[in-house]
């Protein structure tokens, strides 16, 4: 059984994956080129652009190394996932008699970047349980895991809701150490796959980033983060088992990466706050005994978590109407891709539990808008905003199929849980059902398509999310933006010179009688010849502000026409009517009050189009047609959209 | 040439692993073939601890009895399943074992380091895969379909102004992805403007303003500034990718060799007739 070489890394030594160490771990086969500690040149790509290009990708991707993908027959490796992102074909369940997937999937258009982010918690266990002869292979836990399905998943998954989680002794030994070499081996393969997929030529066609998912389900609520690195100088992954609090995750990322002196840089991306029952962005500073100590914690969070995921296959986390704590008219477009629960209950000021299982209460803090408002309140109180959050979207695919976001092509997101239309349209369940959707994409404005340039854009929040279409949107704010920018051929250069891009804080302004001005401009997705993109319906700016401690919101339509008459026939999926190919507006806040903390972000809305279920049901009749096709509770159309990162105003 | 050692023979590994599995099963489940289920004190302690770990509470006597009953039930079903050979027919278990064995085979055959000549030969054999596609750098004047009631006519009018000597930089509407684009392939241009536009632009001559070309956003007057023809890669430009791909292919060959050796140790009988 010595054929596979493992190297045990004990203690808390950071596990550094430079090229040379990788070669060691790989058994000395001499990997060569991964740029180890070589200095990074700026501008090595032919399309280097100081005003930034737009790139589209997926930063939330699970493969067979995730315990909750493997138990549902997903066998996609990280290597295959990256190949898929670059345009190659992928086989997915249901499995045929030869054990291979019987569904074939291929992207219409390759992605510019992707990151495989497997659950760090059990990568060692999964490998141990599938390696005959390992310490735990014959354990009851491994046998249950190999039997697969929800039971197999629960064997490990249950630990992520425990307050003092432990590794299973029958799989990993009494001290948990027997799984560690396996985890090291899987992590090495993950890094290798990313390095192999990364285009380091001057063409810069594709960037593969290195990361993993930290999976805390404290209170049975989703407190998940994707951890993403700037290069391949990366420590061994932190997991919930060793660090069961987000504060522990941040401390360990500081110790093993930021302060480890290994040229490592890292950020964490919270996601699925829509299932967190008010826990993800609950305002608390555990252990802090003074305002100063609270500030330290708030700064750490602000710096390590600059971006959240606003949308993915488990639904939208932008906003929800009817929750307490926010003053303002309801936002008609907040109904987008919500995951219904049996009972609607408002958490109010006290966090609840049960979101992971599709239950419990909803809180305004489960959504971007509530979190941004809480951030303003904290900024007013502490002078630090812990929730200065930019936004991206991604898929969270558990099929290893990054960027598979086209409604027409949706064949499920997690192996055998939803690999037939009957399952996808059957009664809503935790892991499948009609409220799931293909998920979205991350848009990044970066100088060039390299790991460093993309990472730096995430850090400065010059990023946006889309619900799938490749809508390009720019958003600038400033005190002296010219009013006729929309007609100026030098629009972007001037906006960049006179203002700040999305993700920034407006610079301090001395004069108190000027209101800030914003440029927002978007282009529809050109699509492909076979599937042209939908026209745009309108541009909006969403403002949030604090008056006397009270949180307010308002939505402004700033371009386009909500009553343009365009619609879609959900029986044929034919789009009727037209909208705009591009939209632009220079907008000044009519109610600006220089004493109020405020944020502004933009939303781009497409004309209506068919949701995945309407496409899947096209032409199905009689026996072939699942009942869900005609369920009035399931939306058949959707207004795809894009969300920008905000621009903030802080009183001087 | 490295001499192959008897203990690295994959056939032997296969037999050993098989034997090991049978052995472990026998040890782990004494009397698995029989009809005796032993509920030892250790076992009960384990069940209790497991319960506490999951629920945070010590099981009551009633709950403990239920746990034991559950264990007995599962144990019986598990043994019956084994007796029926269900583990053998399970494609999931089968697929995982096959995957594992493939991994083991992979590590059997050590790969040699390729020489430059090896890589050059590989590059020649797969020149198309490494060639860089034709690229053009363009400047364009954009006439937005949203801002002009008849964009095609407006674009024609701008073309006349350019012909009359007006600087193109002063003309047209702003285009979010820029006025001057660096060397891009047809694929990249298609992702920005749409595919019909990209196909047309690839065929334009250098240095001349085109007639209006339609995109997904309106009309464009396009001048190709620079063109880089498609060309084959040089060894040093793609060495990294070559090394990886060369290794992947050698790895595949080695695996095929190992498999055929394995095959030689098996007798395969193809039964004739019927495709049922």
C-alpha distances out from residue A293 to A248, A296, B4, B197, B248, Å: 16, 5, 64, 58, 53
Question: DSSP of A66-112, one letter per residue?
Answer: SHHHHTTT----HHHHHHHHTT--EEEEEE-TTSSEEEEE--SS--S
pLDDT of residue B91: 60
Residues 6+ apart with CB under 8 A from A271: A60, A222, A224, A225, A226, A308, A309, A312, A317, A394, A396
Report the pLDDT averaged over residues A548-574. Answer: 96
Environment class of A56 (CB within 10 Å of its CB; exposed 0-12, middle 13-18, buried 19+): buried
Rounded to the nearest angstrom, the gap between the alpha carbon of residue B11 and the centroid of all alpha carbons in its chain is: 29
- Judged by CB atoms closer than 8 Å, whether chains meet at A489 and B91 is answered as no
Residues of B in contact with A200 (CB under 8 A): 240
* φ/ψ (deg, to 5) at B18: -55, -45
pLDDT of residue A132: 87
Q: What is the pLDDT of residues A435-492, one digit of tens each?
A: 999 999 999 999 999 999 999 999 999 999 999 999 999 999 999 999 999 999 889 9
Residues of A in contact with B56 (CB under 8 A): 162-163
Residues of B in contact with A51 (CB under 8 A): 178
Q: What is the pLDDT of residues A106-162, one digit of tens each?
A: 999 999 999 999 999 999 999 999 998 899 999 999 999 999 888 899 999 999 998
pLDDT of residue B30: 44
- Judged by CB atoms closer than 8 Å, whether chains meet at B53 and A584 is answered as no
- Judged by CB atoms closer than 8 Å, whether chains meet at B92 and A46 is answered as no
pLDDT of residue A110: 95
The verdict on B179 touching A (C-beta cutoff 8 Å) is yes
pLDDT of residue A95: 85
| Range of weakest confidence among A313-327, A502-516, A576-590, B84-98 | B84-98
The verdict on B94 touching A (C-beta cutoff 8 Å) is yes
Nearest by CB to residue A583, choosing from B100, B146, B182, is: B146
Query: Does the pLDDT at position A16 exceed 50?
Result: no
The verdict on A30 touching B (C-beta cutoff 8 Å) is yes
What is the residue whose two structure tokens read 């933009």? A602
The verdict on A480 touching B (C-beta cutoff 8 Å) is no
| Dist. CA A486–CA A482, nearest whole Å | 9
Q: What is the pLDDT of residues B75-102, one digit of tens each?
A: 887 777 777 766 665 666 666 667 667 7
Query: Does the pLDDT at position B58 exceed 90?
Result: no
The tokens for B237 are 């430009």
pTM of the model as a whole = 0.82
What is the residue whose two structure tokens read 């200065």? A388
The verdict on A138 touching B (C-beta cutoff 8 Å) is yes
Which residue does chain B place closest to A148, by CA atoms? B92
Count contacts between A and B (CB, < 8 Å).
Answer: 140
| Range of weakest confidence among A11-15, A123-127, A211-215 | A11-15
- Judged by CB atoms closer than 8 Å, whether chains meet at B237 and A201 is answered as yes
Pick from A537, A617, A528: which is nearest to A569 by CA? A617
Residues of B in contact with A147 (CB under 8 A): 92
| Range of weakest confidence among A59-68, A307-316, A557-566, B82-91 | B82-91
The verdict on A330 touching B (C-beta cutoff 8 Å) is no
The tokens for B204 are 């334009």
Alpha carbon dihedral A109, A115, A116, A120, in 10-degree steps, equals: -160
| Dist. CA B212–CA B202, nearest whole Å | 15
Considering chain B, what is the average pLDDT of its residues?
81
Mutation target vs A (from B10, B74, B96; most A CBs, 10 A cutoff):
B96
Q: What is the pLDDT of residues B129-173, one digit of tens each?
A: 888 889 999 999 999 999 899 999 999 999 999 999 999 988 999
| Dist. CA A448–CA A456, nearest whole Å | 11
Nearest by CB to residue A532, choosing from B54, B96, B216, is: B216
Residues of B in contact with A583 (CB under 8 A): 146
Give CA angle at A136 (A133, A138), nearest 5°.
70
- Judged by CB atoms closer than 8 Å, whether chains meet at A99 and B111 is answered as no
- Judged by CB atoms closer than 8 Å, whether chains meet at A54 and B177 is answered as yes
- Judged by CB atoms closer than 8 Å, whether chains meet at B240 and A200 is answered as yes
The tokens for A316 are 């939208």
- Shortest CA gap B91–chain A (Å): 6
| Dist. CA A244–CA A236, nearest whole Å | 16
Question: DSSP of A328-395, one letter per residue?
Answer: S---GGGGTT----SS--B-TTS----GGGT-S-B-GGGSHHHHHHHHHHHHHHHS--TT--EEEE--
Which residue does chain B place closest to A472, by CA atoms? B176
| Range of weakest confidence among A305-319, A548-562, B260-274 | B260-274
Which residue does chain A place closest to B22, by CA atoms? A138
Nearest by CB to residue A529, choosing from B28, B195, B218, is: B195
- Judged by CB atoms closer than 8 Å, whether chains meet at A51 and B178 is answered as yes
| Range of weakest confidence among A87-101, A355-369, A436-450, B72-86 | B72-86
pLDDT band at B202 (very low <50, low <70, confident <90, very high): very high
Pick from A639, A588, A633, A589: which is nearest to A609 by CA? A639
The verdict on A593 touching B (C-beta cutoff 8 Å) is no
Which residue does chain B place closest to A560, by CA atoms? B146
Residues of B in contact with A4 (CB under 8 A): 103-104, 107
Residues 6+ apart with CB under 8 A from B91: A95, A97, A99
- Judged by CB atoms closer than 8 Å, whether chains meet at A4 and B107 is answered as yes
Nearest by CB to residue B146, choosing from A3, A130, A582, is: A582
Considering chain A, what is the average pLDDT of its residues?
91
Residues of B in contact with A33 (CB under 8 A): 239-240, 243
- Judged by CB atoms closer than 8 Å, whether chains meet at A489 and B195 is answered as no
- Judged by CB atoms closer than 8 Å, whether chains meet at A162 and B146 is answered as no
The verdict on B173 touching A (C-beta cutoff 8 Å) is yes
- Judged by CB atoms closer than 8 Å, whether chains meet at A131 and B100 is answered as yes
Nearest by CB to residue B97, choosing from A132, A163, A526, is: A132
Query: Does the pLDDT at position B13 exceed 90?
Result: no
The verdict on A188 touching B (C-beta cutoff 8 Å) is no
| Dist. CA A232–CA A37, nearest whole Å | 9
- Shortest CA gap B160–chain A (Å): 19
Q: Is the dihedral of CA A159, A162, A167, A170 positive or negative?
A: negative
pLDDT of residue A510: 67
The tokens for B72 are 């007995």
pLDDT band at A22 (very low <50, low <70, confident <90, very high): very low
Q: Which residues pair with A309 in a beta bridge?
A: A392
| Range of weakest confidence among A58-62, A419-423, B50-54 | B50-54
Residues of B in contact with A415 (CB under 8 A): none
Residues of B in contact with A69 (CB under 8 A): none
Query: Does the pLDDT at position B28 exceed 80?
Result: no
Which residue does chain A place closest to B228, by CA atoms? A46
- Judged by CB atoms closer than 8 Å, whether chains meet at B146 and A580 is answered as yes
| Dist. CA A78–CA A62, nearest whole Å | 8
């Amino acid at each position: 059984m010595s054929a596979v070489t493992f190297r045990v890394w004990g203690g808390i030594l950071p596990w550094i994956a430079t090229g040379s160490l990788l070669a060691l771990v790989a058994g000395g086969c001499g990997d060569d080129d991964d740029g180890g500690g070589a200095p990074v040149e700026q501008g090595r790509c032919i399309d280097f652009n100081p005003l930034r290009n737009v790139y589209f990708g997926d930063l939330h991707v699970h493969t067979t190394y995730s315990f909750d993908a493997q138990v549902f027959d997903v066998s996609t490796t990280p290597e295959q996932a990256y190949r898929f992102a670059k345009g190659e074909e992928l086989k997915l369940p249901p499995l045929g008699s030869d054990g291979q997937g019987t569904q074939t999937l291929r992207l219409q258009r390759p992605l510019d970047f992707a990151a495989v982010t497997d659950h760090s918690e059990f990568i060692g266990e999964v490998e141990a349980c599938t390696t005959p002869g390992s310490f735990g292979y014959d354990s009851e836990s491994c046998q249950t895991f190999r039997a697969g399905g929800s039971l197999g998943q629960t064997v490990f998954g249950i630990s992520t809701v425990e307050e003092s989680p432990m590794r299973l002794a029958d799989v990993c030994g009494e001290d948990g150490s027997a799984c560690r070499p396996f985890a090291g081996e899987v992590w090495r393969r993950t890094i290798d796959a990313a390095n192999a997929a990364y285009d380091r030529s001057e063409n810069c066609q594709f960037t593969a980033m290195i990361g993993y998912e930290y999976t805390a389900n404290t209170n049975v609520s989703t407190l998940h983060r994707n951890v993403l690195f700037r290069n391949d100088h990366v420590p061994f992954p932190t997991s919930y088992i060793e660090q069961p609090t987000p504060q522990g995750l941040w401390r360990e990322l500081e110790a093993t990466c930021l302060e480890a002196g290994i040229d490592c840089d890292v950020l964490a991306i919270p996601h699925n706050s829509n299932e967190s029952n008010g826990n993800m962005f609950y305002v608390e500073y555990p252990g802090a005994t003074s305002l100063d100590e609270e500030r330290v914690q708030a700064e750490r969070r602000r710096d390590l978590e600059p971006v959240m995921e606003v949308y993915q296959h488990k639904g939208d986390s932008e906003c929800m109407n009817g929750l307490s704590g926010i003053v303002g008219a309801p936002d008609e477009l907040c109904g987008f891709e919500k995951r219904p629960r049996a009972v609607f209950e408002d958490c109010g000021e006290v966090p609840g539990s049960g979101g992971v299982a599709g239950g419990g209460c909803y809180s305004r803090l489960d959504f971007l808008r509530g979190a941004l408002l809480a951030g303003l309140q904290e900024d007013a109180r502490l002078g630090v905003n812990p929730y200065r959050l930019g936004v991206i979207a991604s898929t969270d695919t558990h099929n290893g199929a990054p960027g598979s976001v086209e409604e027409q092509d949706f064949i499920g997101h997690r192996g055998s849980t939803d690999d037939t239309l009957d399952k996808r349209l059957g009664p809503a369940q935790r892991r499948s059902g009609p409220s799931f959707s293909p998920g979205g994409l991350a848009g990044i404005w970066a100088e060039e398509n390299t790991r460093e340039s993309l990472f730096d854009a995430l850090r400065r929040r010059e990023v946006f999310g889309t619900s799938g279409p490749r809508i390009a949107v720019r958003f600038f704010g400033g005190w002296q933006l010219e009013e006729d920018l929309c007609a100026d051929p030098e629009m972007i250069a001037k906006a960049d010179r006179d203002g700040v891009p999305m993700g920034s804080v407006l610079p301090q302004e001395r004069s108190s009688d000027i209101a800030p001005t914003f440029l927002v401009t978007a282009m529809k997705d050109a699509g492909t010849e076979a599937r042209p993109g939908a026209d745009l319906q309108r541009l909006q700016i969403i403002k949030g502000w604090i008056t006397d401690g009270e949180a307010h919101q308002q939505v402004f339509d700033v371009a386009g026409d909500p009553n343009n008459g365009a619609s879609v026939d959900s029986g044929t999926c034919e789009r009727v009517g037209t909208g705009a190919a591009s939209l632009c507006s220079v907008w000044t806040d009519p109610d600006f009050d220089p004493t109020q903390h405020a944020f502004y972000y933009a939303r781009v809305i497409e004309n209506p189009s068919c949701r995945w279920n309407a496409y899947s049901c096209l032409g199905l009749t009689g026996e072939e047609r699942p009942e869900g096709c005609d369920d009035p509770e399931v939306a058949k159309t959707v207004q795809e959209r894009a969300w920008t990162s905000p621009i903030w105003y802080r009183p001087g | 040439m490295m001499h192959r050692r008897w203990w690295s023979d994959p056939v032997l590994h296969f037999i050993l692993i098989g034997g090991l599995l049978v052995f472990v099963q026998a040890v782990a489940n004494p009397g698995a073939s029989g009809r005796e289920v032993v509920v030892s004190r250790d076992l009960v302690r384990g069940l209790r601890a497991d319960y506490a770990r999951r629920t945070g509470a010590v099981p009551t006597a009633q709950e403990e009895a239920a746990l034991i009953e559950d264990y007995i039930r599962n144990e019986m079903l598990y043994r019956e399943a084994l007796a029926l050979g269900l583990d053998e027919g399970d494609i999931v278990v089968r697929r995982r074992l096959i995957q594992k064995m493939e991994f083991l085979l992979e590590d059997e055959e050590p790969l040699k380091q390729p020489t430059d000549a090896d890589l050059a030969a590989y590059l020649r054999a797969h020149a198309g895969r490494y060639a860089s596609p034709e690229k053009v750098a363009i400047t364009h004047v954009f006439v937005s379909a949203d801002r002009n009631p008849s964009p095609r006519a407006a674009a024609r009018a701008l073309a006349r102004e350019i012909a009359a000597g007006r600087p193109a930089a002063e003309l047209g509407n702003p285009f979010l992805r820029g006025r001057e684009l660096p060397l891009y392939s047809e694929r990249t241009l298609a992702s920005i403007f749409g595919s019909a536009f990209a196909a047309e632009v690839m065929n334009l001559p250098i240095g001349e303003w085109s007639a209006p070309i339609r995109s997904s956003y309106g009309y464009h007057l396009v001048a190709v500034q620079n063109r880089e023809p498609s060309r084959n890669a040089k060894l040093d430009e793609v060495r990294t990718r070559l090394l990886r791909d060369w290794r992947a292919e050698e790895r595949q060959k080695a695996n095929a060799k190992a498999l055929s050796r394995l095959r030689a140790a098996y007798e395969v009988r193809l039964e004739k007739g019927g495709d049922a």
